[in-house]
Amino acid sequence: MTEITEGARLRFRKKLIDRAIDLLLMVFSVLMVLPLILLVSNAFKSPQEMLAWPPTIIPHAPTLANFKAVFGETPLLRWIGNSLLFSGLSTVCIVATSAFAGYVLGKFRFRTMNIFFALFLATAVVPFEVYMIPLYFQAQALGILNSVWGLLLGYLVMSFGIFLIRQNVIHAIPDELLEAARIDGAGELWIFWRIVLPLLRGALGALGVLAFFQAWTSFAWPMIVTTTREHYTIEVGLALFQTGFTVDLGRLSAASAAVLIPSITLFVLLRRNFVQGVATTGLKE
Amino acid sequence: MLQRKRWIFAMLAILPTLAIFAWVRLYPIADTLRLSLQKWDMLSKNKPFVGLANFRELMGDHLFQDALVNTTIIAFGVLIITIPTALVLAALIYHRTRSRFAGFYETAVFIPYVVSLVPAAMAWKWIFDAKLGPLNVLLSMFGIAPQAWLFNPVLSVVCIIVLCSWQALGYAVLIYIVGFKSLPVSLFEAAKLDGASGPQSFWYVSVPMLKPITLYVSVVTLISGFNVYAQAFVLASDAQGAPGRQVRVLVLDMLENSFRNYRVGYAASEAVVLLAIVLVLTLIQFSLLREKGRS
């Protein structure tokens, strides 16, 4: 009898602790996204309401005036378009180069390949900021400053992408499968196209999402490569826009919200891909 | 014969990637090293070799020292805030994996890591704003005088650390959650049988078991901390509105030397210093990991 009540008491205690943890996590989670929520909500406020305390989450008198002003004054859509084009092209390049290199490095055990792998590995830790100045002069020599090609130059390959695909090739594609295809007389390119790529679909998807967000949020490189207003990416455009209008928070918020809303939506939709990508590239063995 | 055919395919398949890699990665890295030993004003044809003169000058350069100190403080500040918070958060989220809110917690903590940097920094710029921001109003309710958060030299560094930590946290939590999932469940069951409470098994089982992950996340956080640029650019404009001048960071100093002062060789030597910092951090990580493997 006493044992049962003891058990019930313990279970109740555990439940209580779990609820407390839930509450704590809930508060913390809301605090984490609160700055972004307030930013989006500010975008719809009149200057008077923005000063109100406590800040309102849902504006009393929502207005689109800030958006109208921002879209009228700045080539915001153009900047978003530039960013989309740049990020899309970068994604294609990174996925393609990583797929080929990752497959070869994972399945073809020749000594030359080991040397190449060591080369990729050794330079993976070098941050982009270290070599972007010489890269800038390469873009200049090619005459592709202030263009999407110049932006792309810095984001054609991704070391972690190669490692991610290689890791997946090793774990997900059995040698026997490839050998069987070879015995049946399949060519190497056919094997890559028809057997390897379909098996890598998940990993390539994760890498694609990762690559897209990497280019979309890049800052230092677009900052030095683009110098004319119509070639800015959205990040550079916004950053320079805010130095001009330090006071007009409404317009700044509207411009920021116009960027944040689509990218957060995209992220929530692609969350699984993204998390898988970060988790596996993060934990290389 | 077959072997040879396979070798040819492998070479042809990797060649494009390798060529691009050599072109946009290897060559620029080598070029940085070479330029750091030269004097070049960006326009003239000749780049005279000056040996280590650039590095010698760096040692007496106050702006550079300023940048180095600020960047180091930011990197370690972010580290000190992020790692313990992330570890505890990940433990709690992992504990509540079966809760129906688990997905929400993970997403909410992770969103700051993925959103574009500049709009996110804008949100914080408003929060910290001395006249319009909610932070000062909130503090005044507790009787604390309003502060010029973004213009006080010490406080503006704090602001950048807060912004960077807010962003870095999601990544660290995610990696820790993966780490928790990889720990053997039997370990926690054994601890429970021995009468360990939740906090006890966290401190005596999880924390030591997760040490390699802590090491990895710490190095990644520190390295990205040393590369801080956009955050300072947006948050720390000086009184004249020049972006990023209030808190000088390494990357900003480097870009200014190259593109404003036309001293490319000098800027390259700063890049080499940054590279050296990153390499040292990586080496520390590897040697600590190896030590652990041996014992």
> Is B22 among the domain residues?
no
In a domain, B184, yes or no: yes
Instruction: Quote the CA–CA distance of A230 and B114 in Å, as a whole number.
Output: 25
Residues of chain A above pLDDT 70, percent: 95
Q: What is the mean pLDDT of chain A?
A: 88
Q: A38 — contact with chain B (CB < 8 Å)? A: yes
Interchain contact A25–B (C-beta under 8 A): yes
Is B23 part of a structural domain of the chain?
no
Residue B239 lies in a domain: yes
Q: What's the CATH code of the domain at B196?
A: 1.10.3720.10
Distances (CA, A) of B164 to A89, A267, B80, B216: 28, 20, 12, 18
> To the nearest whole number, what is the mean pLDDT of chain B?
90
Average pLDDT value for residue range B94-113: 89
Q: Confidence class of residue B136 from pLDDT cuts 50, 70 and 90?
A: confident
Q: For chain A, which ranges sit under pLDDT 70?
A: 1-4, 244-247, 280-285
Where, residue-wise, is CATH 1.10.3720.10 in chain A? Answer: 68-282
Which chain B residues are closer than 8 Å to A27 by Cβ?
none
**Looking at residue A283, what is its pLDDT?**
45
Which pLDDT does position B279 carry in this prediction?
A: 94
Distance CA A270, CA B121 (A): 23
Neighbours of A167 (CB within 10 A): 18
How far is it, in rounded angstroms, from Cα A215 to Cα A154?
A: 9
The answer to whether A29 contacts B17, with C-beta atoms less than 8 Å apart, is no
Return d(Cα A59, Cα A41) in angstroms, integer.
Answer: 7
Q: What is the pLDDT of residue A244?
A: 65
pLDDT at B63 over 80: yes
Q: What is the value of ipTM here, to two decimals?
A: 0.88
CATH of domain A68-282: 1.10.3720.10
Mutation pick from B15, B124, B126 vs chain A, by most beta carbons of A within 10 Å, is B126
Question: Is residue B165 one of the residues assigned to a domain?
Answer: yes
B176 pLDDT exceeds 70?
yes
Burial state string for B179-191 with b = 16 or more CB within 10 A and e = fewer than 16: bbeeeeeeebeeb
What pLDDT, on a 0 to 100 scale, did the predictor assign at position B274?
Answer: 96
- pLDDT for residue B164 is more than 80: yes
B29 to chain A, minimum CA–CA distance in Å?
5
pLDDT top residue among B288 and B58: B58
| B176 in a structural domain | yes
Residue A255: closest C-alpha in chain B: B119
CB contacts of A36 in chain B (<8 Å) are 111-112, 115, 120, 123
At B1, the pLDDT band (50, 70, 90 cuts) reads low
* pLDDT of amino acid B195: 85
Q: Which residue has the higher pLDDT, A153 or B2?
A: A153
Domain assignment present for residue B136? The answer is yes
Q: Is the pLDDT of residue B108 over 80?
A: yes
Question: Is A234 within 8 Å of B122 (Cβ atoms)?
Answer: no
**Residue ranges making up the domain that contains B242:** 53-294
B16-38: b (≥16 Cβ within 10 Å) or e = ebbebbeebbbebbebbbebbbb
pLDDT score for A169: 93
Q: In chain B, how many domains are there?
A: 1
Using one digit for the tens of pLDDT, what is the confidence trace for B27-38?
A: 999 999 999 999
Chain B hits for A24, CB-CB cut-off 8 Å, are 92
